[in-house]
Amino acid sequence: MSTVVQASPTRSVAIPPMPKADPCLVVIFGASGDLTKRKLIPALFDLACIGCISGQQFDILGTGRTEMNTDEFRAAMREAASTSKDARKFSDWNWAEFEKRLHYIPGDINDHGFYETLKGQMADLESKGASSNHLFYVSTPASLAPPIVQGLGKSGLSKNEKGWARIVLEKPFGRDLQTAQALNKEVLQVFNEQDVYRIDHYLGKETVQNILVFRFGNSLFEPIWNRNYIDYIEITAAETLGVEQRGAFYEETGALRDMIANHLLQLVTLTAMEPPVAFDADSVREQKVQVLRAIHHMSVDQIAERTVRGQYGPGTIGGKPVPGYREEPNVKPDSHTETYVAVEFRIDNWRWAGVPFYVRSGKRLAKSETEIKIHFKRTPQAIFSKTSDDDIEPNVITLRVQPNEGIAMSFAAKQPGAQMKAVPVKMDFCYQDAFGGEAPVAYETLLLDAMRGDPTLFTRGDETENQWRIITPIEDAWQQLPPPKFPNYDAGSDGPEESDRLIAGECRHWSPIGK
Ligand code: BG6
């Protein structure tokens, strides 16, 4: 039995206004692609509507393979923004103001001549009042990042004497350790590290940033945030979505590279890192890298024991039948790509020795939810005679990243009555109740930071390489191990049954998804 006690905010605090971006010209590579429509334009549009971007000196120059002119680009972006839930300030008037700032030129990024055309176009915009600060946003498949970086280097666009030049690189940053190292080398020949913004949109989420505030803005939790008090940590990123129209991409990528290599490892590092000396880019990223370096490198046998792969078969989600992964468009009918992964990570350092971090992520699961559960150890003795050991549940702190963003804490309380009986209760803090209003979406926060020159919430070069140092051996070992029998979980379930063996131990279990 569990009783819920609401934790009320001590005062209601309005969300403060966002800071202003530097004037700049944003050049988007891959502007005819999905991410530009779904995330980048809605985020930039909203930033413009709330006054974070100066109307006078802000322009977007999109480029892509698709042949279209500026008017067609504006129409396509309007269509996308008008139906996007992220373009929260959409109105005809707001859009009419914003679209004056949108421009497009088609081009082939593998053609050296294209960068001269681009340079000419940027100079032309500047002569008409565009800013001489340049933010290059690479929103293309990972394999196209190297030619873009080379093109920017050779054309001289990466060096800017009249203002700044920064580059934002979308995930995945390479596809293994070797390609990530090669890409880092390539980028750093052309840009300085402080001008390179490797984006992981999880770091732009308010609740992900709040992990650091919860841990280091309170004196209550940090003293118990270690192996002496914590039994295990469970991190889940579950999605009801399937691979939708991204079958071809997903076939190449899989859940390990798509989610664990970046978003989930970010959650692990923020949960496990030591306190930084200050909240600035170098201090925070240094501590995150230390965690990645301490994650135990597993042998092939350990990988067989401590990882579970899954792939969804047909099932039901929200009362509707959905196809299995192998029936999705652009997916091979005998595909062995994983759509679910569970991994047990161990962190070899003083704070975390012996504390397993169970991490799982999957598509087409029962509910969409991302959360971190900190499971504390049991009390050393059960002293309440009317309560058997099993009645007193160990304390759990749940950091709800999404949806229903907030933090819950479970503990034992005396059940009213003549007997000393302990029952579990829960204190629940809900972001929406405490702060109301609309928090910025992740891409708004990150784009604004990139335009202001703050890389704290972006991934440093050595951080991405250390992420692959953990992930690549798992990919390699999976190639050597017998392939699992796919599909091994039904769409709409909690994932493959086999993942239970990973966590099964005294009083340890995965939390049911969405309950
Ligand atoms: C992306 C992955 O990086 O993150 C997608 O490529 C995934 O497969 C998405 O669906 C999840 O992001 P969010 O913000 O919806 O949790």
Sequential DSSP letters for 217-272: S-TTTGGG-STTTEEEEEEEEE-S---TT-HHHHHHHHHIIIIIIIIIHHHHHHHH
Q: What are phi and psi of 183, to 5 degrees?
A: -65, -40
Length of the chain: 515
SS3 call for 102: strand
| 213-258 confidence digits (pLDDT tens) | 999 999 999 999 999 999 999 999 999 999 988 899 899 999 999 9
| 419-472 confidence digits (pLDDT tens) | 888 888 999 999 888 888 778 899 999 999 999 999 999 999 999 999 999 999
Total Cβ atoms within 10 A of residue 498:
15
CA of 149 to the centre of ligand 1 (A): 25
Place of tokens 């905010």: 9
- Residue 85 to residue 78: CA distance in whole angstroms: 13
Between the alpha carbon of residue 214 and those of residues 18, 182, 298, 454, the distances in Å are 21, 37, 31, 22
Q: Which two tokens stand for residue 288?
A: 């995150």
Q: What are phi and psi of 418, to 5 degrees?
A: -70, -25
CB of 239 shorter than 6 A to ligand 1:
yes
CA of 366 to the centre of ligand 1 (A): 16
* Residues acting as catalytic residues: 263
**pLDDT confidence of residue 2:** 45
CB of 34 shorter than 6 A to ligand 1:
no
CA of 253 to the centre of ligand 1 (A): 13
Q: Which of 263, 401, 444 to mutate to test the pocket of ligand 1 (most atoms within 8 A of CB)?
A: 263
**pLDDT confidence of residue 216:** 96
Q: What are phi and psi of 268, to 5 degrees?
A: -65, -45
In the predicted model, residues of the chain with pLDDT beneath 50 are 1-3
Going by C-beta distance under 8 Å and a sequence separation of 6 or more, which residues neighbour residue 398? 371, 372, 373, 374, 407, 408, 409, 410
